Amino acid sequence: MGDIFHLSAKKRTEDQQGKGASRRLRNQNLVPAIIYGGAGEPVAITLNADQFRKDLSTESFFSHILTIDVEGNEEQVIIKALQRHPAKNFAMHADFQRIVKGQLMNFQVPVHFEGGEESPGAKAGGVTSTTVTDIEISCLPKDLPEYLVVDISHMEIGDSLRLSDMVLPEGVKLPALELEEGTDRVVVNMQPPRIEVEEDDEAPEADDVPAINQDDEAGEDAAKDDE
């Protein structure tokens, strides 16, 4: 992994916790967060909003082991949950889980699809349709990949690839397939070319269709009644 993420944080005091306090912290350009898991107690912290925004803009931030320096005490963590503002999309709160060496953990990692332009399906006009952007994996922290690669260079029109078709790095498993009622979902398929339906030039325009005069129909009905 080429990227290294080192965050600085400060502990939150008791009066800096709660909804009202979190709102005040965000107004001060701070993001409230929490560190939990492992053998330590949960620690409520704040992060600099500007720096955190830059970190979040990097895809690999979500699939890396992060170092958070909390007033001189370094914690090895992964980001486990992120709450964003529904309209403005800025970070409102973050959850970080401590890393425990030698312990299997679940991580969410991005998926990269490669070779699409070279595939027989694409050359025949097919359209690649992906159904995932990231997937949950299970592995030891030392085996955490930055992303998963799905090779689709061989796909023909009508082909699809499922979770069970993915080639995984050593030591990496997919929890979705480990469950008793595992879901082997489709991650990508090659759809037929889109066909645009041309309008029939000989179809009569609305102005060309003779209008029905309701008064004439009513007159004819009345004439019949008179007869």
pLDDT at 220: 46
Residues 72, 119 within the same domain: no
The closest alpha carbon to 77, from 43, 111, 49, belongs to 43
Is residue 138 domain-resident?
Answer: yes
pLDDT at 49: 96
The CATH number covering residue 177 comes to: 2.170.120.20
Residues 65, 122 within the same domain: no
34 and 42 Cβ atoms separated by less than 8 Å = yes
DSSP state of 126: -
pLDDT at 177: 92
Strands 148-151 and 105-114: parallel
Is residue 205 domain-resident?
Answer: no
Half-sphere exposure of residue 34, counting CA atoms within 13 Å on the CB side? 13
Residues 129, 181 within the same domain: yes
How does 156-182 read in b/e, with b if 16+ C-beta sit within 10 Å?
ebebebebeebeeeeebebebeeeeee
pLDDT at 39: 87
- As a whole number, the mean pLDDT across the chain is 86
Residues 183, 153 within the same domain: yes
pLDDT at 200: 58
Tell me which residue range forms the domain holding 167: 106-191
> Mean pLDDT of residues grouped by 10 in the chain (227 residues)?
81 87 92 94 96 93 94 94 92 95 92 95 94 95 94 96 96 90 89 72 52 48 43
